[in-house]
Every structure is written in structure tokens, then in C-alpha cells.
């Protein structure tokens, strides 16, 4: 929907944005389909936004129905990709040749969805409640990696290559015993060393594969390497790492942190990004990391969240000076999370 352009002064609470609102620097400060509150209208005015595009026909009920329909379509597409990826990985696990046609099929579908909608990030967060972590993690990582590639202004083929890297990055885990992969307690030194072998196992499984570039194979081998040399399997440093591997490293860790695993509960995207900002400096490529940290939060505008208080709220504003602590509307009150350290976002709904 293109909507009608109106003065910010003539807008009322409850209007629905028909387009993203961006500032003079091109930074998104309010997302399309957001239901405007009086607080948001005041903030937009204070940020120098004079006009916005609103949906003339939509109302709250219609908006909810549209989002439900789009989410349902994405869920079906997501499940289909997970099932296809499961076939690919299981075939490789029993020694079959990589089905590059299926890999390309998923890569093309992911690229189309990234180009066609900004909602993919919020939808992806919702999909994390599904089963089969290994397959979902590979799919999710490929999507986050592809999004980072687009934010870096890489060309179409490079983005698709990065997506393929994400799809296949953990296939080496099929060589690790389930008793180790699914262990709930602390791993022994020997077990952890075996887990670390999965990157090399994956590389060896694809070393002779036709249709997979050397850059993708290198990214699979090095997705646990860190720019300071503290990673594995070979302790390579940043200057020796391919761009794809450095992108994949961030996407892989972010999805792992924001997903439930047998040995660790997930954290919210905002908590994960804040951890990246502290412990991530020095071990991930700083330029890629800064782009990821600064661009990702705004895509959660309008998202529903569960707070540590047990209340459900909606993210209505992300302060540019403190992107890890959004303002959340709960019923008729506004909570500025930067002013109350006792309240946190537990997870996205």
C-alpha cells in the first residue's frame, strides 16, 4: 500500500503507517504497518518528521488480519524450506552426493523473501518456537547471513553464496554422536574437542562437491574462527578469513543465542545485541558487527514482546542513543526500559 501523505500534525492515534518513516540520513525510525500512538507521533514530530504516509483504508482489525495472513504464508514457506534442508543434510549424512539443485532452490527462495519484505526478521524470530533445532538453526543462520550481506551492499550472487554457506555450515554435526550434541550437562574436554571438529567434518563432506564454490567451503570450515585468532579449528585471524566466514560467524552466534537449546535458554534479540557490543568487540569483524548491531533493532518496531514482569507489550520506539533499551507500550502505559533495569524483554511473541 502506498497510502496518503499527510502532515504529522493532522495524524491521530491509531493511524497505520503505509510506508517506513526514515530520517534525513536514510535511517528507518518507524516501520510500515506500525499502529501509531500519541507518544510516537510526538517523537516523530520532535525528530523533524513533517509528513508521513498513512493507510486510508486499514484499521486495527484489518491490520491484524493482514499480518496473520502474511505470517501464515511465511510459516508455510519456512516449514517447506526446513523439510528440504532436512533432506539435504540427511542425504549427506549417509554419504550421498550433495543435491545442489535443492540448495539453489532454497537460496533463491530466501533471497526473494529478503528482497520482497522487511518483515522477514520479525517472522524469523517467531519461527524459533518450532522443533528440530539443527535444521532450523542452519536455515535461520543462512537468512541472517544473507541479510547482513545485503546490508553490506554485496551483489546478488555474493548474497546467494552467503546464504548457501549458512544453509550448510553445520552439516558436520551429522558426524557427531547425538549423545554429545544433546547432552544437557557440561561437556567433558574430550566431548568439547569432538564438537569443535564439526567445522572440519563439514568442509571434508563438501570438499569435492560440484556446484559449491571454494569461498562457501572455506566459510563452512571457518565459521567458528575469530578475528583475534581465538577460534577453531585452526586459530586463523581476521586478515586470513574470507568475508563470508566473518559474516557467518556473527549470524551463527546471534541465532544460537536467541534460540532455545537443550543446554541453554534463549535470550531476547536486544540482550544478544548488547552482549555482541561488549564481549563481541575484538572477536568479530568490527565493521560487520557495527552494521549488524545498528541496523537490526529497528526491524523489531511494532513487535509484541513478553516482559520479565509477565506483561505483554509492544515495542513502539527504539531510542537512537540506546538501541538496546526500547520503549514498550503495555496497556495504557509506556515503559522506558533504559530507566528501569529491573524490567527486561524476555522474548518476542
In this structure, the answer to whether residues 129 and 190 fall within a common structural domain is yes
Strands 21-22 and 327-330: unpaired
Per-residue pLDDT of the chain (349 residues; tens, 9 = 90+): 457 788 777 777 777 888 888 877 777 778 887 777 777 777 787 777 878 888 765 543 333 333 556 777 888 888 899 999 999 999 999 999 999 999 999 999 999 998 887 778 877 876 765 457 889 999 999 999 999 999 999 999 999 999 999 999 999 999 999 899 888 888 999 999 999 999 999 999 999 999 999 999 999 999 999 999 999 999 999 999 999 999 999 999 999 999 887 777 789 999 999 999 999 999 999 999 999 999 999 889 888 888 998 899 999 899 888 899 999 999 888 999 988 888 999 888 7
Domain that holds residue 152: 62-266
In this structure, the answer to whether residues 42 and 109 fall within a common structural domain is no
Kindly report whether the global pTM for this prediction surpasses the value 0.85.
no
Q: Residue 65 half-sphere exposure, CB side, CA atoms within 13 Å?
A: 5
> Residue 222: which CATH number?
1.10.3210.10
Asked if the structure places residue 325 within a domain, the reply is: no
Asked if the structure places residue 197 within a domain, the reply is: yes
- Domain endpoint, select from 219, 238, 266: 266
Round to whole Å and give the CA distance between 235 and 1.
Answer: 50
C-beta separation of 346 from 268 below 8 A: yes
Round to whole Å and give the CA distance between 68 and 236.
Answer: 45
User: How many domains does the chain divide into?
Assistant: 2
Q: Which long-range contacts (CB under 8 A, 24 or more apart) does 335-343 make?
A: 335/307, 342/308, 343/307, 343/308, 343/309
In this structure, the answer to whether residues 80 and 112 fall within a common structural domain is yes
> Residue 18: which CATH number?
3.90.105.10
- Domain endpoint, select from 266, 296, 325: 266
- Domain endpoint, select from 58, 74, 96: 58
Round to whole Å and give the CA distance between 223 and 211.
Answer: 20
Round to whole Å and give the CA distance between 245 and 237.
Answer: 11
CA 310 to chain centre: 24
Amino acid at each position: 500500500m502506498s497510502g496518503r501523505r499527510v502532515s504529522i500534525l493532522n495524524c491521530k492515534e491509531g493511524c497505520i503507517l503505509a510506508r517506513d518513516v526514515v530520517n534525513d540520513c536514510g535511517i528507518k525510525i518507524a516501520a510500515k504497518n506500525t499502529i501509531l500512538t500519541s507518544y510516537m507521533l510526538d517523537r516523530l514530530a520532535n525528530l523533524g518528521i513533517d509528513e508521513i504516509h498513512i493507510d486510508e483504508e486499514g484499521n486495527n482489525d484489518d491490520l491484524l488480519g493482514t499480518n496473520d495472513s502474511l505470517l501464515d504464508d511465511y510459516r508455510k514457506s519456512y516449514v517447506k524450506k526446513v523439510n528440504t534442508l532436512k533432506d539435504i543434510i540427511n542425504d549427506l549424512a549417509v554419504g550421498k552426493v550433495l543435491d545442489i539443485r535443492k540448495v539453489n532452490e532454497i537460496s533463491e527462495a530466501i533471497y526473494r523473501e529478503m528482497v520482497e519484505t522487511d518483515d522477514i526478521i520479525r517472522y524469523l524470530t517467531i519461527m524459533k518456537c518450532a522443533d528440530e533445532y539443527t535444521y532450523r538453526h542452519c536455515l535461520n543462520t543462512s537468512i541472517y547471513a544473507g541479510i547482513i550481506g545485503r546490508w553490506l551492499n554485496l551483489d546478488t550472487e555474493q548474497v546467494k553464496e552467503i546464504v548457501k554457506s549458512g544453509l550448510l555450515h553445520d552439516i558436520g554435526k551429522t558426524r557427531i554422536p547425538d549423545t554429545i550434541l544433546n547432552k544437557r550437562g557440561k561437556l567433558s574436554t574430550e566431548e568439547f574437542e569432538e564438537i569443535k571438529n564439526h567445522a572440519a567434518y563439514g568442509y571434508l563432506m563438501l570438499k569435492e562437491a560440484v556446484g559449491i564454490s571454494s569461498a562457501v567451503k572455506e566459510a563452512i570450515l571457518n565459521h567458528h574462527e575469530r578475528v583475534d585468532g581465538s577460534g577453531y579449528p585452526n586459530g586463523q585471524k581476521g586478515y586470513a578469513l574470507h568475508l563470508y566466514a566473518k559474516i557467518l560467524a556473527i549470524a551463527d552466534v546471534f541465532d544460537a543465542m536467541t534460540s532455545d537449546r537443550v543446554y541453554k535458554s534463549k535470550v531476547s534479540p536486544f540482550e544478544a545485541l548488547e552482549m555482541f557490543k561488549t564481549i563481541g568487540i575484538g572477536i568479530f569483524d568490527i565493521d560487520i558487527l557495527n552494521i549488524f548491531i545498528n541496523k537490526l533493532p529497528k526491524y523489531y518496531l511494532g513487535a509484541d514482546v513478553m516482559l520479565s514482569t509477565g506483561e505483554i507489550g509492544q515495542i513502539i520506539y527504539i531510542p537512537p542513543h540506546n538501541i538496546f533499551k526500547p520503549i514498550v507500550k503495555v496497556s495504557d502505559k509506556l515503559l522506558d526500559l533504559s530507566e528501569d533495569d529491573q524490567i527486561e524483554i524476555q522474548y518476542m511473541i
